[in-house]
Structure formats: C-alpha cells, structure tokens
Structure 1
Amino acid sequence: MKQKFNSDVLEMARIAKALSHPVRIYIIRKLIKMDACCYSGDLVEELPVGRSTLSQHLKELKYAGLIQGEINPPFIKYCINRENWEKAKALLSELINQPQTTEIYCK
C-alpha cells in the first residue's frame, strides 16, 4: 500500500526546492552573514541576474518561509526568518544525519 508523505517530508521538499539555485543560496548566506536585512536593490547590484529574476528567487525563498519581506514603499527589505531557518536547519540535519540501514532495498 502506498503511503502519503507526512508534513516533515513535504516541508523538507519545500526547503530543498527553495535552496536549489545558486542565487538563492547566495541570498540566504548573505542575509545570515550580515545578520541584518537588505533591500532587493542592493542584491541586484551584486548578482548576475536582472531585477525580475531576482524577484522570482526572493519569492521562492519567501514561499518556503526562509526569508521575510518588509515593505517600505517603493522598496522591500528582506531578512532571514530566524524561526523558520532554525526549523529548516533541524529538518535538513535530521535528513543528513539519518542512520544508514544495512538492509538492501534496491538491487
């Protein structure tokens, strides 16, 4: 009988998808390193992508809950969502550190 995915598996997949592009990894690393917020206009100056492409990457990170945006018209300031980032680290750590089994399932 096929099993449905539990919420942890779905959350891990959402996080993995959000982190699956070099631009998004760069954004996350920068925001963590800065320990502060920054404007999307600042990021577009550093990255080899256009504004609309950057906007899509930020949207993906925001959808995954890894960052949050604060609107100060006409600008948006982005920060790491600390609570969700800690949850993401715990979920990914659990996946990476999962003990291996000696049973062979695939041949």
Structure 2
Amino acid sequence: MQRCGACTRFVWFPMYICPHCASTDLHWTALSGDGTVYSRSLVIDPVSAASAPPGPLLVALIELDEGPVMMSNVIGDGAEDVVIGDRVRVVFQQVSDDVTLPVFERVNAES
C-alpha cells in the first residue's frame, strides 16, 4: 500500500497525490496482509452473469492491522459464512495476464 512521506498516512487506492495533505511524496510500503472483517455483504444474484464468478460473492470491508480499511472479496471454503470480526489474510488472485487482485481468506481460529 502507498504511504505518504509527508503526513505518514496510508493511501488506498493508489494515487499520485496524497488525498490527506496533497504531497507527492508517496512510497510503496509492505503490510502484513492480516486484518479483520469490518463489514460484509453477500451477493447472491450479480447484475451481470457474464462478469460474475461462479457461486455467491462475499464483498467485505477489511480493516488491516496497520489501520487502513479496504474493500475486497473474501474467497475460499465457507467464505459466505464470514462474519464481522473474523480474522482474514490477503492472498493474490490472478484474474488475467495483466491483472492480479488482493483478496482475502478467513484465518482459521487455530492458526
């Protein structure tokens, strides 16, 4: 995720200018990839079947351990059973030769 060198705040979605202080001093920073489900919505009937993945789609706001909140999908076995407060970890899903997306999987309570 990008982080501003001037105000030190995280920036998501990637930008050229910090939306918090207007600095152009943005740098990529590695994050843990761990977070907590802040909000969730299960999409049963997508608007367009042509662009939808097979099965229900769980869209969630994920509060990363470092503080920023990002919207993503939760995938994997039992994704539709994810509830607010569940722990998740990022995985990267390649959707085309040019596009790889950060998505999340639930972290097993025993992990």
Q: Which has the higher helix share?
A: 1
Task: Provide TM-score, normalisation by structure 1.
Answer: 0.24
Task: Provide TM-score, normalisation by structure 2.
Answer: 0.24
Which structure has the greater CA radius of gyration? 1
Q: Which has the higher contact order (CA 8 A, sep 6+)?
A: 1
